[in-house]
Amino acid sequence: MSTQYLVSVAHRDCHESDIFSICCSQYGVFTTSGDGSIKFWTYRHPADINTNPADGATVAGKGSKLESNDSKLGYHHLGISPNQQFLGAASFTGALQLFAISAPADDTKPPKLSSILSPDDSPMKECIENYVWAFQLAEYDLGHDSGSLPILAVITVDHQLTVFDLEEGSQIASWSVKSKDSRKGYPICLDVSPSLGLVAVGDDDGTVHVYSLHTGRSLLSLTGISRKAIRSIKFSPDGTQIAVAGDAGSISIYDVKDAAGEQVALLNGHGSDTWVFSLDWSSSGDYLLSGGYDGNIKIWDARTTECIATHSEADHSSAIFSLQWTPIGPRRSYQGFVAAGSDMTLRIYRLAGQ
């Protein structure tokens, strides 16, 4: 790949403690942290910073703190709906807060968030106010030209994977994610493949579970050799493959088409004792982004399994907790990716020459 990425801007001290999660939208990037706030940052180099953008300016965090009900215990997961209308934030209390996003008037302003309440007495309300660990907002393709249904998939502290109809608050499917030894295991991460109607869960005991929304059944259960915790799990954009990473340091890609469950690639590059916290496929499915405990960000060619770039702008004693490609959508004006973690710095990378 002849393309190169550079740090466009590094916002230092964006939050008062670990940045556990970032979430890219078509407007800009949302960040959240153990400090309990949600902030917004534009992709573009802020015009009021008087440095040559090519140098990759480091600036004191100039994001916008969004008006929301701050979580006293801090947030650990963020997610946005594919239609860019809803944002979710999960806090350490076990509550998931949902917000409606109002688009900003222009590119220089942040979007507005307003709290939305789940339908009263719905199964979703009971669940998301108390027991959420990680979640994903997605669209479930109903097929046969019936359009798609906005859904919320959550994994809970009591080892359940539940999928809700986001608007009705009703339950579409629910599975118990338990190890044979019920004292062990804890579901850490999940992902939804809208096209194939699959939900995947990565567990602390090293197991990957894949469930089908179409049949309501468990489709696959993949047990890694290492039995080490799985911290990130991502379906490829076409839904046929799944990338899995965690404490083993390597990234495995499995074929999930026709419930094959075959490992098709193993990407080695992060150290074997590096925890990989975050993965993201590029929208074409050609490249995979990964970041972890060693502070390194790697870009992989998914076809050749080669690591084509390593970014180590973060200090090696700090971890990358969350990273994501900027989305390609109707308002696309920026190509790159965003990463953040324990050094409390948000780094926005752009395609060289852009």
Partner 1 sequence: MSSQLRGTNARGQSKRSILKRLLGQKAYLISSLKNSRELKIGDYSFPGKTESECRQFTMLLFLLNTAIECLENGVTVTRRNVYYQNVELFRSQYAVDLSLKKLGEALKIDSSLTGIVPGSKGLVIGALRLKCVHPECEVDCSEITVLPGKPVEAKLTADLDSILIVEKEAIMHSLVESGYHQNNRVILCGKGYPDKATISLMYILLHEIEKRPRVKVQIAVDADPHGLDILRVYLRCVPQQYYNRIEWVGSKIDHSKASEVISCTEGDRKRAINVLSTLVDNCNSEWHNHWQSKEWCTQLQRNLFFNAKREMSINDILLGARNV
Q: Say how far apart CA 300 and CA 276 lie, in whole Å.
A: 14
The least distance separating partner 1 from the CB of residue 169, rounded to whole angstroms, comes to 25
Q: Which of 48, 50, 72, 146 binds partner 1 (CB under 8 A)?
A: 72
The least distance separating partner 1 from the CB of residue 286, rounded to whole angstroms, comes to 30
The least distance separating partner 1 from the CB of residue 103, rounded to whole angstroms, comes to 31
Query: ∠ at Cα 187 (262, 167), nearest 5°?
Result: 100
Q: Which of 27, 30, 34, 38 binds partner 1 (CB under 8 A)?
A: 34
The least distance separating partner 1 from the CB of residue 87, rounded to whole angstroms, comes to 20
Which stretch, 7-15, 137-145, 235-243, 271-279, contacts partner 1 (CB under 8 A)? Answer: 271-279
- Which is nearer to partner 1, 165 or 313 (by Cβ)? 313
The least distance separating partner 1 from the CB of residue 39, rounded to whole angstroms, comes to 17
Beta carbons within 8 Å of 111's beta carbon, 6+ residues apart: 25, 27, 28, 40, 101, 102, 103, 104
Residues 104-143 that bind partner 1 (CB under 8 A): none
The least distance separating partner 1 from the CB of residue 29, rounded to whole angstroms, comes to 20
The least distance separating partner 1 from the CB of residue 73, rounded to whole angstroms, comes to 5
Asked whether 323 and 289 are in contact (CB, 8 A), the reply is yes
Q: Is 254 in the site for partner 1 (CB under 8 A)?
A: no
Asked whether 346 and 336 are in contact (CB, 8 A), the reply is no
327, with CB counted inside 10 A (0-12, 13-18, 19+), is middle
Q: Say how far apart CA 142 and CA 171 lie, in whole Å.
A: 16
- Which is nearer to partner 1, 75 or 349 (by Cβ)? 75
The least distance separating partner 1 from the CB of residue 272, rounded to whole angstroms, comes to 9
Asked whether 238 and 228 are in contact (CB, 8 A), the reply is no
Q: Is 274 in the site for partner 1 (CB under 8 A)?
A: yes
Asked whether 22 and 28 are in contact (CB, 8 A), the reply is no
List the 38-41 sheet strands across, edge first: 19-24, 29-33, 38-41, 64-65
Q: Is 32 in the site for partner 1 (CB under 8 A)?
A: no
DSSP-based three-state secondary structure for 53: helix
Query: ∠ at Cα 173 (172, 177), nearest 5°?
Result: 155
Q: Which of 11, 76, 234, 347 binds partner 1 (CB under 8 A)?
A: 76
Helix (H) or strand (E) holding 128: helix 123-128
Q: Is 13 in the site for partner 1 (CB under 8 A)?
A: no
- Which is nearer to partner 1, 17 or 108 (by Cβ)? 17
Q: Is 317 in the site for partner 1 (CB under 8 A)?
A: yes
Beta carbons within 8 Å of 332's beta carbon, 6+ residues apart: 26, 326
DSSP structure string for 322-339: EEEEPP-STT----EEEE
- Which is nearer to partner 1, 144 or 183 (by Cβ)? 183
Residues 185-244 that bind partner 1 (CB under 8 A): 186, 188, 204-205, 229
Q: Which residues bind partner 1 (CB under 8 A)?
A: 16-18, 20, 34, 72-74, 76, 92-94, 157, 183-184, 186, 188, 204-205, 229, 247, 273-275, 293-295, 316-319, 321, 342
